[in-house]
Amino acid sequence: MKDIATPIRTRAILEKHGFSFKKSLGQNFLIDTNILHRIVDHAEVTEETAAIEIGPGIGALTEQLAKRAKKVVAFEIDGRLLPILADTLSPYPNVEIVHEDVLKADVESVIHEKMQGIDDIMVVANLPYYVTTPIIMKLLTENLPLRGIVVMLQKEVADRISAAPGTKDYGSLSIAIQYYTTAETVMTVPKTVFVPQPNVDSAVIRLLKRKKPAVKVENETFFFEVVRASFGQRRKTILNNLTSNLPNGKAFKEAIERCLAASDIDPRRRGETLSIEEFGRLSDELYRTFNEGPAEK
């Protein structure tokens, strides 16, 4: 039997089951086996690995994972695909499909129930573009026992996730994900290898979980609040953004200036030039100051 991810086999499967694509679910199926092999390579999947897939479609990537992994669990939201997956993946007893929206699922319970005794767990997926960021952030903030995440997503989002300070793509998303992981774009994927063709090119990003966050901060929630505030308007200075976007920022303006000086950060810099370590120092200074209240005039 030919691999699922060939133009002829994909077309035959879709025709056999009378399947029509739902634009609202961001369904684009890969028809290039070589790219799938490379994705699985980048995830370093072995016979000791359990793979979590999100949005398996008709099973093209699932099949390649099943050939190498000990166990594959795939979350599929579209009930119309369940009989197709039962058909295409019938040769692989190590695959299990969970008919659930991963954003609403208790992923930790699924891991505990279906991956017992497996220490190496990777998320490997071709993510629906419209929910890429919420899915990645859910997987990271729930502190799941993952080695990492290797996913295909819109190239523009991959560029933002893996961006370095001082570049145009660097922003609050870069920091949020690099706080939990080391992020690297490992390959780009042209739109021509999908059915139907998306409007944009894709990229595969590899996120390997850090043993502990990139910086130690006094209050994680406040740290992310400071980061978001710093990128409120990219052309504004860090001082103006913090004053405008932090709660009661205007009342704390002088205190914010003192915190920037204490953190050795020029108030005229823009947020995009600050490293994650600088944001960590600054957020700790601000956290202590904001909890003391604004200075008396």
| Residues of the binding site | 28, 30, 55, 76, 101, 126
Residue 283 contacts residue 177 (beta carbons within 8 Å): no
| Cα pseudo-dihedral 60, 62, 65, 70, rounded to 10 | -150
Q: Where are the beta strands (DSSP E) in the chain?
A: 29-30, 49-54, 71-75, 95-98, 120-126, 148-154, 181-189, 194-195, 202-209
- Bond from prior residue into 196 cis (ω within 30 degrees of 0): yes
Main-chain dihedrals φ then ψ at residue 93, nearest 5 degrees: -70, -10
CA 5/CA 63 separation, integer angstroms: 9
List the binding residues for S-adenosyl-L-methionine: 28, 30, 55, 76, 101, 126
- 173 contacts: CB under 8 Å, gap ≥ 6: 133, 157, 160, 161
| Burial environment of residue 256 by CB neighbours within 10 A (0 to 12, 13 to 18, 19 or more) | buried
